[in-house]
Homo-oligomer: A and B are copies of this chain.
Amino acid sequence: MENIKVGLWGLGSMGGGMGRILAKKDGVELAAGIDLDPNKIGKDLGDVLGIEKLGVKVSDDAEDILDDSLDLVILATSSFLKDVAPQIKLLLNKGINVISIAEEMAFPEAQDPDLADELDELARENGVSLLGTGINPGFVLDLMIIALSGVCSEVERIEASRINDLSPFGPTVMKTQGVGTTVEEFEEGLKSGKIVGHIGFKESIYMIAKRLGIKLDEVKETREPIVSNTYRETEHVKVEEGMVAGCKHIAKGYSDGKEVIVLNHPQQIHPEKEGVETGDYIKIIGDPGVDMAITPEIAGGTGTMAVAVNMIPHLINAEPGLHTMADLPVPGAILANMGNLLK
């Protein structure tokens, strides 16, 4: 059996991490690396990943180095659909399957239905498949909700929370979540768009609604500062009492004027300082009801890397087109040769 040939586009912490996971798996080989960082360009991909040499040079020129000898590229360059769409188009036009960890690619219809259709058609024309995935969106607050609703013959309301700890994350996440700001700065940041909270609520809610057949009137989001009652700090930020330790971001999907899907994702550093237990929680009010807790929450970074890697054979097997996690088989850990899972 030939190895599955995978390229990595984006060699930051996520792309690099996925590269190191893939390097340990059987039946798959890292066959291309693309990044814009001058410190990575021209180096051996193995050196950039901190593993053995791979005989593949990192390039900044995707157009030049990618071709359909690659089975699939994992795209880890941006969170936003508008940023990754040109990169995805380039890959699809070259006849390469694409897994993107851009949050907005988990369900691109939510941001831009026309662009989603365009990507779907382009994938079909080129006989390849496209998927956006990750822990959230892509798994916890959408795929798991859909799967658990599968045991229900009726669903009245869905309430789910992902309560996590931002402490391990770097300075960019601290800024986009408003960690270390004053309440005033937080409010200004929301207005200016510098503080965004969670990216992916719309994607999750639309994915759930479409699959279950819930007609949404609208999705409303609120973002509030989590004001700390105690001193908290990480390597990258210090939060005095009275300052902002994170962002409490809630999204609600309404149908016939009623809240039917309520997703809650408060993100802060050191939640344990105020007795907050982290976890993923899903409650479905239906027949029968379901009440699930995963404690602590599924790890965001390593979980996203694993989900994306574990979907590789399933996306290659899929019919050409744009897919979501709701229409492919569930991911599962891949502990033997990845090629065994190819049809």
Contact = CB atoms under 8 A, between A and B. Distances in A.
A21 interface: yes
Interface string A317-343: 000000000111111111111001100
A299 interface: yes
24 contacts: A135-B151, A146-B332, A147-B330, A147-B331, A147-B332, A150-B307, A150-B310, A151-B299, A151-B307, A153-B305, A153-B309, A154-B333, A155-B333, A211-B341, A213-B334, A214-B335, A214-B336, A286-B333, A288-B303, A292-B293, A293-B295, A326-B329, A326-B330, A329-B329
Nearest to A335: B213
A149 interface: yes
Interface-centre pick from A135, A330, A340 (highest chain B CB count, 10 A): A330
Interface in A137-158: 139, 143-144, 146-155
Nearest to A213: B336
B330 A143 contact: yes
A291 interface: yes
A298 interface: yes
Contacts of A153: 21, 24, 302, 305-306, 309-310, 333
A215 interface: yes
Interface of A: 21, 24, 135, 139, 143-144, 146-155, 211-215, 286-288, 290-296, 298-299, 302-303, 305-307, 309-311, 326-337, 340-341
A330 B330 contact: yes
Given A151-B298, A288-B298, A326-B332, 10 more contacts: A21-B153, A143-B330, A147-B330, A147-B331, A150-B331, A152-B333, A211-B332, A288-B306, A292-B293, A326-B329
Nearest to A17: B153
A290 B298 CA distance: 6
Contacts of A151: 135, 139, 298-299, 303, 306-307, 331
A305 B82 CA distance: 43
A164 to B, nearest CB: 12
Given A290-B294, A291-B295, A155 B335 contact: yes
A249 to B, nearest CB: 22
Nearest to A144: B147
A14 to B, nearest CB: 13
Contacts of A307: 150-151
Contacts of A335: 154-155, 212-214
B155 A212 contact: no
Contacts of A336: 212-215
Contacts of A215: 336
Contacts of A293: 292-295
A153 B150 CA distance: 26
Nearest to A27: B213
Nearest to A298: B151
